[in-house]
Structure formats: structure tokens, C-alpha cells
Amino acid sequence: MARPFERGLLGGTFDHFHQGHEKLILTALKECDALEIWITSDKIASQKTGAVQSFSERSSFLKSWIGKKQNEIGFRNGDSPRVFINELEDNVGPAEWRNDCDAIICTEETLPACEQINSTRLESNLEPLNIISVEHFLTKDGSILSSSLIRNGTYTREGEKWIDDSKISNILQMPKSIEGTLKKPFGTLFEGPEEDTSIAISKLKKDFDFDQISGKVVAVGDVCVSALRQSGIIPDISVIDGRTKRQDLPEELIPKIQGYDEIINCKNPAGKITPEFSNCLISAAKSNHKVMIKVEGEEDLAPIILHLALPLDAYVIYGQPNEGIVICISDEKVKLRCKSRIETFIPN
């Protein structure tokens, strides 16, 4: 198959490889015999906000994806590969001076940078590169899918929202079939007696350096929030209801509000998730300041909504009755598990 261009250049971070990245590469391969993909180094990628994957993770995932595609038509020239991966250690790479390439691939945002590259090439008496501008991959609701939207926990890599707005617009009743699974630790358990939570918290702090954690720290439950505060940690989000084991807490054991920028009050009955509760949790998850949510009713189901709403690599901590403290990192696997669970809830 004859293609218009011999060798194209494509640069980017390729963080949390998604459908938009796939569209870029597949479009480029339709136009170019060979494609060089230049992945930004960790130094450059660190300038972005959120939990950007390391160069090793990003390049390994891309190589794995290409490997799975090798048997598809158009991914090889006979026995020769058509895609080559390199590390990009500056903002431009080789595009300004290479004379063995004739195309550069971009999106609307990076088009000006490609035009500037061509201006520099002309000043150096080099032929300008043919610019292949690829339209964005759009999510189901018409947003431009990006790695930043994946990092902030809004969309999956396929462009679907983690939270179905139509689902949480109803009061959701927890089905009896999953009651047992919710009583099991959902994350890593740090054991310790309930009458002295400092023991479990001490074990937790040995494994997690909260001074170095960049992701949000979220705590659910009065006893858990108070224990963290006593250890010097004020969570970014705290969800409390003034109760433990469905018994009212003494006033002196209820977590203090000092250190929070916003206090949100809402209602939520036991065994249910109301739209009001969901909206409070989502608002807190997307906030840039410290939030305490005071629930009239029960907060036990809060982690399900929080995991779906939080940015990737947030830390959700809660107490496990009679066992200790549990911490669960809100990654894509955890979000998928929570999404599956919420789908079982019965709308009223």
C-alpha cells in the first residue's frame, strides 16, 4: 500500500494511554510508511499536574499495545516494524533538524508548535515537514478525551464517565446480596485494637509517608478521622456522622472542625446513597481545599462514590470494625470495582 509520506514524527507524554492516543497513531500509520513516537522524559512530564506515570510505565504500555497490534494489517512492512519509540528530552526533539523525515503529526493544540518547527527548518534551509493534524477523540458526552481528565478521575481511557449521572440522580438502595462483601476490607488492612487506634495508625504511617504523598488523603468515619488527626494528619476530605457501630459518639470524641476550609452538611439514611450525599462527596472530591462532610444518618457507603469521583492515586482510609484501619489507593482497578458495585444498587 502506497502512503503519502515516508517517515513521520509524533511527540507526546502518552500518559495513561487512551483512545485519543490510539487514534493519533493509527491515523499517522495510514499516512506514513514509518512512524517515530517520541515520549517525553520524566523531567518534562513532571511539569504536568496530577499523577503522571513514569517514562518506564508509559513506554512499556505503548510497546505492549504495539506488540498486540503487530499481527494486524498495516503494522509491519513484511518482517520490518513500522513504529519506533524514543525518549524526548526537550520540548522539540529532532523535528527541527532531521532531514530524513517528511511529516509531523499533531492535534489542534500542538499545531502552532509544529508551525514554529517548520519556521525554524526554513531558516536552516530545510524543507518544512508536512503537518498531519488529527481530530480529537471525543467522549460520549462530547468532551475532548485527555490524560488530564483520566488523571483527575473523571473519565476512563475509553472516554466513559466513571460516574453515571443518571444513576446517582436516584436514591440508591444497597442490595442485600453485597452486604457481606462490603464488610470485608477493601484495601490493605493495618491491624490494631479498636480501643487504641494509634497502634493501627502507627503501622499505617510506617508504610505510607504522608509528608511525601501527593495524592488526596481521604478519611471516612469519626474514629478514623480522629485517629489520623491525633497522629498529625488532617485529611483533605473527612466524612463523619457522629457515630461508631451505629452508636452516638460522646461529644469529646467527635472530630474537630479546625483545619478545614469548608464544612458540608448533608443527609443520608443507612444502606442507601441519596443524590444529596453523592453530590456532596463528588464536590469534595473535586475540591482544591480541605473539606469535612458531616452526615446526618450514615456515611458507611461513602467510599464507593468517593473512589469513583477522586483523582487517580488518592488514598481512602477507613476503620474496619474490630480489626483496624484500611487504606485503599483509588486507581483504575479500584474505580472499576466500585463502578461494578454501584451498578448493583437498586434505584428508588
CATH code of the domain in which 114 resides: 3.40.50.620
**CB contact set of 171 (below 8 Å; sequence gap of 6+):** 272, 273, 274, 275, 347, 348
Q: Among positive and negative, which fits the CA dihedral 161, 162, 164, 168? A: negative
C-beta separation of 346 from 173 below 8 A: yes
Residue 156 lies in a domain: no
Is 160 within a domain?
Answer: no
How many residues are given for the chain? 348
Reading the block at residue 112, the C-alpha cell is 502552532
Residue 255 per-residue DSSP state: P
Q: Do 224 and 339 sit in the same domain of this protein?
A: yes
| pLDDT at site 194 | 81
Beta-carbon contacts of 72 under 8 Å, excluding residues fewer than 6 positions away, are: none
Among 116, 151, 186, the domain-final residue is 151
Same domain membership, residue 204 and residue 122: no
Whether 287 is in a domain gets the answer yes
The answer to whether 233 touches 198, Cβ cutoff 8 Å, is no
pLDDT (0 to 100) of residue 73: 60
Instruction: Tell me which residues of the chain have a pLDDT lower than 50.
Output: none
Alpha carbon 274 to chain centroid distance?
25
The predicted structure's pLDDT at residue 295: 96
Same domain (yes/no): 75, 213: no
End-to-end CA distance of the chain: 57
pLDDT 10s digits, 311-339: 999 999 999 888 999 999 999 999 999 99
Do residues 278 and 258 make contact, with C-beta atoms less than 8 angstroms apart?
no
Q: How many domains does the chain have?
A: 2
Domain span including residue 85: 5-151
Q: Are strands 247-248 and 172-173 parallel, antiparallel or unpaired?
A: unpaired
Q: For residue range 249-298, what is the model confidence (pLDDT) as tens digits?
A: 777 678 888 999 999 999 999 999 999 999 999 999 999 999 999 999 99
Note the pTM of the prediction, 2 decimals: 0.90
